[in-house]
C-alpha cells in the first residue's frame, strides 16, 4: 500500500513538472503568462474557488497556465459536483483541469519498544475542476464581468505604495540593478523613473521583497549559498519570480511582459533544477506563498478594518 501511495505521489509530481518544463522550454514562464494575455478588462486575479476564495501556491500556477492555454476569461473554477449543486452542468465534451491537494493523516503504530505512537503521514492527490466558461446554467453572478476597470491606475499605484511601505523593508534607490542585500538587510532599486511604467516598477519591487522576506530573522530561507551555488540561486530566483506574480495579482497590478536581462539565464537554470528534481516547483510555489502571506501579514489589517467600520 505504501508503495502504491508513494508511486501515485511521484506520478503527480512528474506530470505537473513535465507540463511546466514544456512551457519553460518554449521560453514561457507559466506563472507570469497572464500579464501578456489581454485578460478581460485588463484585470488579472488569482484563480478563485466556487465560493470566491483564492487558490494558493502550486494551484495558482496550474490554473493560470490552463486558463491561458485554453483562453478562459473567468477566474472562477469548481468541481462537477459543485456545479451540479448550483443547478448547472458542465458542457458535454469539456475536459477539466487538475489541481492538487496536500495534507496529512495520523496513524497509530507500535515503535521498537512496543509503545503505541502516532505518526503523521503526508499525502498528495489531484482532483478535477472546471472553469465557469465551461459550465452552463450557473447563477448570473458567476458570469458577471466588470464593465469598468476595477480601480483607477493612480489609486492602484497608491495602494501598492502603502503595501510595500507597511512591510517596513528598507528600500534604497540608485544604480541600474535591483537586488536584496542580506548583509545590510536592504532592498536596492533603480530610480522609479527608469522603469517603463509604474506597474513594472512594483513587479520588480515585489520580486525583491520576496527575497527580503526570506531573510534569517524573518522566514529563514537559507540564502547563504546564493552566490556560491548556481542551483541554489536558481531555486531562490524561482521562488521570487513566482512570489512576485502572486503579489501582482493580489495588488491588481499588470506589468508589461518585459523580461529582465537576467531572465534568459534564469530560465536555463530553472529548467535544469526542474528536470533534476520533480518536486522543486512544488517547493518553490510553497515558499513563494509563504513569503507573500508574510508580506500580507505585515499590513495593518486591524486599523483598516476599524476605518471601514
Q: What is the pLDDT along the chain (309 residues), one digit of tens a residue?
A: 343 444 455 676 777 777 777 777 776 666 664 444 444 444 567 899 999 999 998 899 889 888 877 878 788 999 999 999 999 999 999 999 999 987 776 777 777 777 777 777 777 788 999 999 999 999 988 876 654 444 455 455 789 999 999 999 999 998 888 999 999 999 999 888 888 788 888 989 999 999 999 999 999 998 888 888 888 988 998 999 889 989 988 988 877 545 555 555 566 788 888 888 888 888 999 999 999 999 999 999 744 443 444
Output phi, psi for 69, to 5 deg. Answer: -65, -30
Q: Are residues 140 and 224 in the same domain?
A: no
When divided into structural domains, the chain yields a total of 2
Task: State the pLDDT at residue 37.
Answer: 41
For residue 287, CA distances in Å to 89, 178, 183, 214, 260 come to 36, 21, 21, 9, 22
Say what the pTM is.
Answer: 0.73
Strand partners, 173: 189
* 1-13 b/e (C-beta count within 10 Å ≥ 16 → b): eeeeeeeebeebb
Q: Tell me: do 56 and 32 sit in the same domain.
A: yes
- Measured in whole angstroms, the distance separating CA 95 from the mean position of its chain's CA atoms is 24
Q: Which of these three, 147, 175, 197, is where a domain ends?
A: 147
Residues 99 and 139 in one domain: yes
Which domain-ending residue is among 87, 112, 147? 147
- Do both 105 and 188 map to the same domain? no
Comparing CA positions, the residue from 34, 52, 60, 45 lying closest to residue 286 is 60
Do 105 and 163 reside in the same domain of the chain? no
Q: Are residues 108 and 43 in the same domain?
A: yes
Question: How many angstroms separate the CA atoms of 63 and 233, rounded?
Answer: 26
The pLDDT of residue 132 is: 94
Asked whether residue 189 falls in the same domain as residue 226, the answer is yes
- 131/158 same-domain check: no
Domain with 220 in it: 151-309
Say yes or no: 140 and 159 in one domain.
no
Q: Which of 98, 132, 147 is the last residue of a domain?
A: 147
The answer to whether residues 194 and 288 belong to one domain is yes
Does residue 121 share a domain with residue 160? no
Together in a domain, 184 and 46: no
Q: Which of 2, 35, 11, 29 is nearest to 252 (CA)?
A: 35
Amino acid at each position: 500500500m505504501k508503495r502504491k501511495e508513494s508511486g501515485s505521489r511521484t506520478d503527480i509530481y512528474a506530470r505537473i513538472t513535465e507540463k511546466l518544463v514544456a512551457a519553460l522550454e518554449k521560453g514561457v514562464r507559466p506563472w507570469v503568462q497572464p500579464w501578456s494575455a489581454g485578460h478581460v478588462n485588463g484585470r488579472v486575479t488569482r484563480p478563485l474557488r466556487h465560493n470566491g476564495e483564492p487558490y494558493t501556491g502550486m494551484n495558482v500556477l496550474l490554473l493560470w497556465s490552463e486558463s491561458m492555454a485554453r483562453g478562459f476569461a473567468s477566474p472562477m473554477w469548481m468541481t462537477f459536483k459543485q456545479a451540479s449543486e448550483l443547478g448547472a452542468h458542465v458542457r458535454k465534451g469539456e475536459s477539466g483541469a487538475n489541481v492538487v491537494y496536500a495534507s496529512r493523516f495520523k496513524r497509530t503504530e507500535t515503535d521498537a519498544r512496543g509503545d503505541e505512537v502516532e505518526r503523521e503521514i503526508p499525502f498528495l492527490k489531484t482532483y478535477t475542476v472546471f472553469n465557469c466558461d465551461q459550465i452552463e446554467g450557473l447563477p448570473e453572478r458567476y458570469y458577471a464581468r466588470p464593465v469598468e476597470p476595477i480601480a483607477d491606475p493612480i489609486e492602484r499605484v497608491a495602494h501598492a505604495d502603502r503595501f510595500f511601505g507597511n512591510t517596513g523593508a528598507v528600500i534604497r534607490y540608485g544604480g541600474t540593478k535591483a537586488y536584496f542585500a542580506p548583509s545590510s538587510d536592504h532592498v536596492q532599486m533603480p530610480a522609479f523613473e527608469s522603469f517603463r511604467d509604474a506597474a513594472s516598477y512594483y513587479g520588480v519591487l515585489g520580486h525583491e521583497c520576496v527575497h527580503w522576506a526570506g531573510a534569517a530573522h524573518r522566514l529563514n530561507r537559507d540564502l547563504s549559498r546564493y552566490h556560491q551555488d548556481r542551483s541554489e540561486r536558481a531555486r531562490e530566483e524561482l521562488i521570487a519570480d513566482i512570489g512576485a506574480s502572486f503579489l501582482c495579482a493580489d495588488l491588481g497590478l499588470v506589468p508589461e511582459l518585459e523580461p529582465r536581462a537576467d531572465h534568459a539565464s534564469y530560465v536555463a537554470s530553472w529548467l535544469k533544477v526542474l528536470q533534476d528534481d520533480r518536486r522543486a516547483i512544488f517547493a518553490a510555489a510553497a515558499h513563494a506563498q509563504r513569503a507573500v502571506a508574510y508580506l500580507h501579514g505585515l499590513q495593518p489589517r486591524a486599523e483598516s478594518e476599524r476605518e471601514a467600520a
